[in-house]
Chains A and B, each alone.
Chain A
Amino acid sequence: MAKTYDYLFKLLLIGDSGVGKTCVLFRFSDDSFNNSFISTIGIDFKIRTIELDGKKIKLQIWDTAGQERFRTITTAYYRGAMGIILVYDITNERSFENIKNWIRNIEEHAASDVERMIIGNKCDIEERREVSRDRGEQLAIEYGTKFLETSAKANLNIDEAFFTLARDIKSKMEQNEMRAGGSVSNTGRVNVGGSGTQKKSFFSNWSCNLL
């Protein structure tokens, strides 16, 4: 079968139940929003092809159920993920507090070089905000990840989040390819023998703006 893409990136969405993981994914893949809250069962995924610097990149994005009873079953998907987006709800303090627990899950089950990003969703509901942007940014700095506030409902920063993550993954991959002598792996994955120091960088200007 002829390949229809240059790279395949597997991403994972994790976070508490009800923070809007599925809505974020739907906005990105289908550009639609469903007002009713349908709780995800087990696992789901969407595939969308984007173009980055002239390369066709197919994003396979796994959407996990946030409920406790699905916690064990969804960890099987951590290992295959190249990028993980941790989602909290700015109107739900507890979901923000639990980001620490989700980080711990990643460290336990995911590849050590997985790319990570934290997003605070539902930023359009300003009147019910419980978590300030500053605290979100502080947490991201603490864990050395990118940070964005988003709104799946208002379609704010959704594409930015996924493109940023994809760009970071692609950048790292290309560095590894150069280090490996230019050999290209068909699976899009290269396991690096030595662990390099992860560069910590983020763009503080990337934030949720409501006009």
Chain B
Amino acid sequence: MPNSSSTSQPATTGSETASTSYVNYVEMSAEQEYFLYELETTDSGSMGLVLRAIYDTGDVQSFARALQQRISHYDKNIQKVCSFHYQSFVDAMQELMKLKEQCQDIKEETVAIDAEIQQISQRLCQKKQEIVRYRKLMKNAKTAMDQIAVCLPVLENYAKLQEQMSNRKYYQALKTLEELEHTHLALVEKYRFTQVLAKSMAPVRLEIKEKAYSEFKDFLENIKKVAGRIGKHASKDTAEQHSFGVTDAERAKKIQEEARKNASNVEIEVSADGSIVKKNMSPKRNMKMQVEDDEQVSAQDLIDFTPVHRCCQIFNVLGAKEEFEQYYRQQRKEQCDLVIEPTHKMNNFKHYVEYLDEIVGFFVVEDQILMTQSNLSTTVDKDKLWDNALMKIRQHLDARFGGSPDVLMMLKMKKVILLFILTMKSYGYAVAPLYELLQNFRDQYNEILVKEYCAQFERDLEKDNYTPITVNSEEEFRTIIRKFPFYKRSMEQEPFPRRFPFSPFVTDAYTQAKNYLIGCLKFMDNLQLNTSAVDDTVRRCANVLLGRWAGVLKSFVHKRLSMIQLVQITINLGYLEKSCESLGAFITSKTSGEEAIGTTSHQVVLSEKVFRDVRSEVEQQIDECMRSKVDEIIDLANYDWELPAAAGQASEFISDLINFLQTTFTSFTNLPSGLAKHVCTQTCKHISQSMSDFLLSPETKCISTGALDQFSLDVMQCEMFTTRCPVAGVDPQTLSMTFADLRQLLDLVMSSDWTTFNAEYGKDHAKYLRVKASTAIVVLEKMIEFERKSTGFFGIAKGDRKKLLDTIVRQLKLLEI
């Protein structure tokens, strides 16, 4: 230490000296001074640079001399300082010698203390070593405990995982697994047992996935089983909401009111209404009871949707969310296809109800899942599923009922389908195509009804007795009046038996028409059409039926019907036409009830004109029938055209013919007057034409005078009929004209009034105006032919007559030109 202090002091002194020296030697060059300053002040690192600078100046010798001067200067200073401090140095040495002695004493004393301490602290050191060992032990124990504490959650969770897996709580298991993998295992990766655990946990994820799928499949199976009940319940809810039950109540109320209105009618009818009321009340009560029983049942109660939610969560955690979504949609689509496809045993009504209930249930569940798990499916997916299903449902129903002739089944199905529509609509599904289906069914139903009632109409035509209805008592009379709206005041005062103008066919047809309209109404029940629309539709249906009936009548009339049938039909048609107005009122009462009594609206008019065509057809057939009867008798004609002399009375067939006409026109008292006149006139015209055809027929080669006389007698008989015709209102003058042509021809030929004929031919007021020259020629030629044959047998005497006739023929031919 003292040496160190000495060393320091010289350094300080050196600095002071240097500063002083600089001021004293001003004769040195500035450059050399600068160099010396730099050497004294710079650090060793820069020495090289200074020396380089010195050598670069080129004047090394000069610098060396300057340097030597500076060294000498410094030596001189050093000697002065040494001399000055010599005495102090000696004093210091003496003090050091004393100190040496004192230190020696202290050293000895310290050694003794140290030995004593060493001895005393021997046990203490021993204790210290024990403490160190114990402390290390504790540290190790703490470390072990800490590590074990970190490992425990792993073990606990692993055990938990195992337990959850065995308890089939897969979502919780998956959460545990995730926690294990990402939280706890990361901390203890270095241990071998954790590696074994990690290896054994790898398949657990797969197992969870498989189990989840399995559980979901069970869920699908479950909802499949329960879908029908869900659908059934949903349909019942819809029925309740849309007042299907209330409709029955309203119907019962209406029937009660109608019963009150008809209180004046016979007791039987009142009882019938009463029983109907009871019948309607009963279903309503049953429906209420059913609703109460099923009130607790809902989709949520019947199905546990937890598996779906759990599966969503599991697959979400597994990172397979999209896979599950796709799987779900695929499975539901397949399930939907199964539900949509009817089984082969769909052969009665109950099966179809169950079929539609299954479909409703399926889509209710789908809607429920969509609402609670919106990421699993989308509205678009649901609608796509429904659209596809809807198409197939429609196809199946069309295929099954498209050609169905069963009206009752169609009515039932209509109600079921309507309920199906309303139910699906309430869950937000599009139902327009099903309404179209119902409309098609309605058209088809109406078509079936029309066919049925046309067939019935034809059967009624076939089995009618074509005899006016006769009643023998007031009761019978009232029965007919109730069946058919016929009113004739005078008839109520007539004595029994009373005769209606129409045959039973009319009352039957009218009843059938009303039943048909009721049938049409049944299908439109609950279709949510307003009163006006229903009314219009039913009226159009009525017109369709009437038109079809007219068609049936037309074809029926072309069968070989008797005069009796044809006449009664034409009478019946008149009353059917009149009944159209009553049918219209019937429709109004059925569709509008009391509400529309005061309503004035444009209504489709029932078409009574449809019977106009068929009526004229019938009248034509009457003409045909009469004509064919006339022809049958005329076919019996057996003229001997070479008769020498007339018999003196009409031919037998003419007598029979006239008798027949007389009897027929007398007996058919129910033939309408206008029609009778028409038929009578047409018949006479036909007879006249037939007689002319006899006379002018090419098959008749010759005619004798006697034959002409007989023919004339026959025509006379016909003329007598026209003057004494039994048909009321016929003008004898007019009717006689039907034989005028024939009469003039006969008169001309038989009286040989050729001079007059020739002179007046072509004039307006000619006596034989109706005779054509060509016609006269035909007859004359036949007479000539007869004369020719007679001459051959009886000599020359008749030759003159032949010549005369030949002359006349030549003259007539000139007239023709």
Which of A4, A8, A38, A70 is B467 in contact with, Cβ under 8 Å?
Answer: A38
Measured between alpha carbons, how far is A92 from B523 in the docked complex, in Å?
Answer: 49
Measured between alpha carbons, how far is A76 from B660 in the docked complex, in Å?
Answer: 10
| A44 with B640: CB separation less than 8 A | no
Which residues does chain B contribute within 8 Å of A4, judged by CB atoms?
Answer: 635
Which residues does chain A contribute within 8 Å of B462, judged by CB atoms?
Answer: 36
Known contacts A58-B636, A187-B652; is A43 also within 8 Å of B565 by CB? Answer: no
**Chain A residues touching B, majority SS:** loop
| B638 with A42: CB separation less than 8 A | no
Which residues does chain B contribute within 8 Å of A58, judged by CB atoms?
Answer: 636
What's the A-B contact tally at a CB cutoff of 8 Å? 73
Which of A35, A39, A77 is B659 in contact with, Cβ under 8 Å?
Answer: A77
Which residues does chain A contribute within 8 Å of B463, judged by CB atoms?
Answer: 35-36
| B640 with A76: CB separation less than 8 A | no
Known contacts A37-B465, A39-B465, A40-B564; is A1 also within 8 Å of B659 by CB? Answer: no
Which of A1, A40, A41 is B638 in contact with, Cβ under 8 Å?
Answer: A1
Which of A8, A38, A80 is B564 in contact with, Cβ under 8 Å?
Answer: A38
Measured between alpha carbons, how far is A80 from B659 in the docked complex, in Å?
Answer: 11
Which residues does chain A contribute within 8 Å of B664, judged by CB atoms?
Answer: 41-43
Measured between alpha carbons, how far is A37 from B466 in the docked complex, in Å?
Answer: 8
B-side interface residues, number (CB < 8 Å): 33
- A45: interface (CB < 8 Å): yes
Measured between alpha carbons, how far is A144 from B562 in the docked complex, in Å?
Answer: 35
- B663: interface (CB < 8 Å): yes
Residue of B nearest to A77 (CB): B659
| A20-55 vs B, Cβ < 8 Å mask (1 yes, 0 no) | 000000000000000111111111110100000000
Which residues does chain B contribute within 8 Å of A70, judged by CB atoms?
Answer: 667
Which residues does chain A contribute within 8 Å of B697, judged by CB atoms?
Answer: 1
- A3: interface (CB < 8 Å): yes
Which residues does chain A contribute within 8 Å of B637, judged by CB atoms?
Answer: 1
- A178: interface (CB < 8 Å): no
- A190: interface (CB < 8 Å): no
Residue of B nearest to A3 (CB): B638
- B95: interface (CB < 8 Å): no
Which of A1, A38, A47, A60 is B694 in contact with, Cβ under 8 Å?
Answer: A1
Measured between alpha carbons, how far is A76 from B652 in the docked complex, in Å?
Answer: 14
| B621-643 vs A, Cβ < 8 Å mask (1 yes, 0 no) | 00000000100110111111000
| A1 with B562: CB separation less than 8 A | no
Which residues does chain B contribute within 8 Å of A47, judged by CB atoms?
Answer: 632, 635-636
- A195: interface (CB < 8 Å): no
Residue of B nearest to A8 (CB): B636
Measured between alpha carbons, how far is A10 from B462 in the docked complex, in Å?
Answer: 31
Measured between alpha carbons, how far is A10 from B638 in the docked complex, in Å?
Answer: 15
- B563: interface (CB < 8 Å): yes
| A42 with B699: CB separation less than 8 A | no
- Can you list 14 residue pairs at the A/B interface with Cβ under 8 Å? A1-B697, A8-B638, A10-B656, A37-B465, A38-B562, A41-B563, A41-B664, A41-B667, A58-B636, A60-B636, A74-B663, A76-B659, A80-B652, A186-B638
Given contacts A73-B667, A80-B652, 6 further A-B contacts (CB under 8 A): A1-B639, A10-B656, A38-B466, A40-B564, A42-B663, A45-B632
Which residues of A come within 8 Å of B, CB atoms? 1-4, 8, 10, 35-45, 47, 58, 60, 65, 70, 73-74, 76-77, 80, 186-187
